Structure 1
């Protein structure tokens, strides 16, 4: 019988084991781990301990994400990310979320892809910073030349804002979510840098321990 520890040595952890950028990639082209596709009506999320994709919850509403939805490896939303949003004091304590537009219909999650950052949405969820980076699939035949959020049709961003403002709705219960601030590529890269700094502040010791064992 194999233990979980044995198996985790063979499967690279999407959060800790992957790099946010491939070698020699431009600063705005990032590796993304995808958790959900636009077809999903169940909220899937990475289990941080095991590195496997798990069912978080069935969606209560009929809406599904209007883009591929995942996170950036080796990022974490804590003190530095919270500083980017003056109206809050804390961030949500998860890897930094990212939405990726693709012209071709990608139908499966638990995959890694390269995406070009074009902007983001400053989401405040119940008093916590929970930014959503917006990107396009690198090399995409329709969206591949997009460099900034202003190059995308506004309806693309509006659909993301609508999804994130409603996907936690429960009839009769007020949920405080704000998705009013949409920002461009440069601010998105600053948020990503803050999330990378938070990651190394909180989880850098894991990599130091791994190097010490080599």
Structure 2
């Protein structure tokens, strides 16, 4: 009898055979969550990172692309696009937001998404890119192919979350967004993070 096992969502699942055009996403958090969950890197299970202390609500499905890692190659891209003070990538899998009109009640799931852009976020001197994507087949967002097609208010809403979610009230932002980029650069970031993964973990 073959024993049951759970593939590690970071190391044991592919980014998708059509990556970076369509990527597999492991969703950790959904907009209704008042707890920030993240994958425990050793076991692969979701764990509680911290309760959300204030009114900040994640504005979209949030997770990471499997078999990615943000280090030297992601740092290089950040510097080449104008952020000269970046010391490294953030040593985590590549973060991704997935826009969808569907009310998904909990994370810990996989979905296919189409990258349409992203934010070059710098957090304490580290490149912490946030890829923006749409869920494949979504009737409201699924036709978008570049972040420039989104309403400006939507882009502002996404940026505002990342610029404020770590802050106490009236504190200055602990991070910054240097660039809002489109689909082509998002794909370059994904490929860079896959190279960083291969350099770190092999394969």
Residue deviations 1:38-89, cap 9 Å, x none?
A: 1112111000000000000112221111100000000000111011112202
- Aligned match of 1:191: 189
RMSD: 1.6
Confirm whether residue 125 of structure 1 aligns to residue 123 of structure 2.
Answer: yes
Mean CA deviation greater in 63-72 or 173-182: 173-182
Question: Per the alignment, in what secondary structure is the counterpart of residue 82 of structure 1?
Answer: helix
Q: Which runs of 5+ in 2 are unaligned?
A: none
Question: Per the alignment, in what secondary structure is the counterpart of residue 85 of structure 1?
Answer: helix
- Aligned match of 1:11: 6
Q: Partners of 1:167 and 1:18 in 2: how far apart? A: 29
Q: Which runs of 5+ in 1 are unaligned?
A: 1-6, 208-214
Cα pair distance change 1:106/1:30, threshold 3 Å: same
Q: Partners of 1:97 and 1:26 in 2: how far apart? A: 15
- 8 Å CA contact 2:163, 2:173 repeated in 1: no
Residue deviations 1:80-106, cap 9 Å, x none?
A: 101111220211110000000001111
- Aligned match of 2:63: 70
- Aligned match of 1:89: 87
Q: Partners of 2:23 and 2:7 in 1: how far apart? A: 18
Superposition deviation, residue 31 in structure 1: 0.4
Off by >6 Å, runs of 4+ in structure 1: none
Question: TM-score of the superposition, structure 2-length normalised?
Answer: 0.92
Matches for 1:99-114 after TM superposition, within 5 Å: 99-114=97-112
Q: Partners of 1:97 and 1:164 in 2: how far apart? A: 12
Q: Partners of 1:26 and 1:55 in 2: how far apart? A: 29
Superposition deviation, residue 192 in structure 1: 0.5
Give aligned pairs, total.
Answer: 196
Residue deviations 1:147-198, cap 9 Å, x none?
A: 1111111222111100000000024754531024100000000000100000
- In terms of fraction of residues, the more helix-rich structure is 1
Residue deviations 1:119-138, cap 9 Å, x none?
A: 00000011111000000000
